[in-house]
A and B are shown apart, each in its own frame.
Chain A
Amino acid sequence: MDKAKRRTLKVLGGTLGAAAFAYAMEPLRAWAKDLTVDQFLQKHYKELTPSDMAAVLRQLEDDAKTKYGREVTIEDIRPLEGVEFGYALNLSVCIGCRKCAEACHLENNHDRSTNNSYIRVLEMEQGSFDLEKGTATYDHAVPSPGKYYLPVQCQQCDNAPCVKVCPVQATWKEKDGIVVVDYNWCIGCRYCEAACPYHARRFNWTKPEIPAEEINPNQSYLSNRVRPQGVVEKCTFCLHRTRRGQLPACLEACPTGARVFGNLLDPDSEIRWVLAHKRVFVLKEELGTRPRFFYFFDN
């Protein structure tokens, strides 16, 4: 083969290679538009100093203004000393109205088009406890004869499979028992979603769309700030409310009073009374996840 031909082939190959490489890297350019250098270099939640955190929160508030046209307050709210949260739900009085799911949808700034919510209410056959046979898409008057209703949300497990499988430690259990996600650290691999036996985690397939006037401006870093596309999210027991002493939004919305929330470390709390006086149980106990979410029926 002569040298000129060889050189032509080399140049051709090189050009094709460079073009292929540029094409392969193309998505990175679109991605970089949404991400400043500071955000790319942001540390893990637990390694942020207070001044780092203040800067991050200001940046997120600015983002909410430019991307969603709404003035919001985003705070980093820490667990309370001497508090571990527990939740119980009375299945005898739940009527399956999904008001809790709706309240969650509004409180936690979920994408409007998908009706996303951290709560999935399953319509179950009376006498059955097979979660896989429950249906979440029932569309008829409730309660329906022969059925009962099982609202399922994050069970805030003490032995949480989702936390164990995360390859980057973007999700962990806080001191007050709430399992949280650092949305800025999550890489969107969805291992946690696959690991959760309660289908409690959600993935943001698209950028959440919410009209500015519907955004809940009372936000926190680890809970209800509008999540970016491509990260996993979950119920946080409304930590932006509960760590300020308020009840979670789903409890306030419940028209039958099926939900009981409180501090497990306070022996006089409502949740402790339920644990002591009702036959409470947890979902899929055999898996050893040790949930902080309890269910009971009236005697």
Chain B
Amino acid sequence: MRTTTLIPFVVFACLATGACTSEGTPRYGDPPGEKTAATVVHSPPKLTSIESPTKDGLGRDVRVSCVTCHGIRDAGAGFPATAAALKEFHVGLVVQHGTLPCGSCHVSRTGGTPMLHLADGTELATEETLRLCAQCHGPKYQDYLHGSHGGMNGYWDLSRGPRLRNHCVDCHDPHMPKFPPSRPVLPPKDRFVAPTASEAHHG
């Protein structure tokens, strides 16, 4: 008798708290865990040859291996001050990077591939340009290290997956670091927007 009188109260309590309607599914996903995945900086391909003005029989550019010249000749002390003074290879190279002469970054030795050097003389391989750029562009490097400069792909949550980050020279041409102007993609075309000049012309 006593238990049956309790039933209405139990039902009411269930409805009031919502306990009876809950099916026990998680409302939220798991929080981020330990950051176990790696942040990988994309490595620029190693430069082993350059283009030349010569074309082969099929009209393709002939590339010349760096060691063809740099294996036997020492440009070391004889770097020209500007790219305009280059007479053989690298002719027509446009350099718009402040007033830096070639020797600020490049070192050339006989018997080895051309390399880069830091201001203190430490030699670097071409894949290590991040350190080279960083010595002048400190604030940018600081931003880069904290993920607020440079494109990336992958995961914000490193407990769920890895991240791939761009290297300086993935986006910037080291000889002309400023982005060249480009055409924007995907012009808006909704009904509130008049057609662009080129569309009106064709329409």
Q: Does A80 lie within 8 Å of B154, measured CB to CB?
A: no
Q: A98 near B32 (CB under 8 angstroms)?
A: no
Count of CB-CB pairs between chains A and B under 8 Å: 148
Known: A139-B184, A242-B156, A257-B171. A277 touches B32 (CB 8 A): no
Would you call the interface of chain B mostly helix, strand, loop, or mixed?
loop
A96 to B186, CA, bound (A): 11
Q: Does A262 contact B (CB under 8 A)?
A: yes
**In the complex, are the beta carbons of B154 and A81 less than 8 A apart?**
no
Would B146 and A277 count as touching, CB distance under 8 A? yes
Q: In whole angstroms, what is the CA distance A20 to B194 when docked?
A: 39
How far, in whole Å, are A137 and B194 apart by their CA atoms in the complex?
Answer: 9
Give the contacts of A259-292 with B (CB-CB under 8 A): 260-263, 266, 269-270, 273-274, 277-278
Smallest beta-carbon distance B36→chain A, Å:
12
**Is B25's CB within 8 Å of the partner chain A?**
yes
Whether, in the assembled complex, A143 has its beta carbon less than 8 Å from a beta carbon of chain B, the answer is: yes
Residues in B neighbouring A266, C-beta threshold 8 A: 32
Q: How far is the CA of A99 from the CA of B149 in the complex (A)?
A: 17
A137 touches B187 (CB 8 A): yes
> B127 near A: Cβ within 8 Å?
no
Cβ 8 A contact of B160, one of A101, A115, A244, A251 = A244
Instruction: Bin chain B's interface residue count.
Output: 35 or more
A197 CB → nearest B CB, Å? 17
A-B contact pairs, 26 of them (CB 8 A): A78-B29, A82-B32, A83-B32, A88-B148, A96-B184, A97-B184, A98-B186, A102-B185, A114-B190, A115-B190, A121-B184, A137-B188, A138-B184, A139-B184, A141-B181, A141-B182, A142-B181, A142-B183, A246-B155, A252-B152, A262-B156, A270-B156, A273-B147, A274-B146, A278-B148, A298-B143
Name A residues whose Cβ lies closer than 8 Å to a Cβ of B: 49-51, 77-83, 88, 90, 93, 95-99, 101-102, 105, 113-117, 120-121, 136-144, 175, 205, 242-247, 251-252, 254-257, 260-263, 266, 269-270, 273-274, 277-278, 298-299
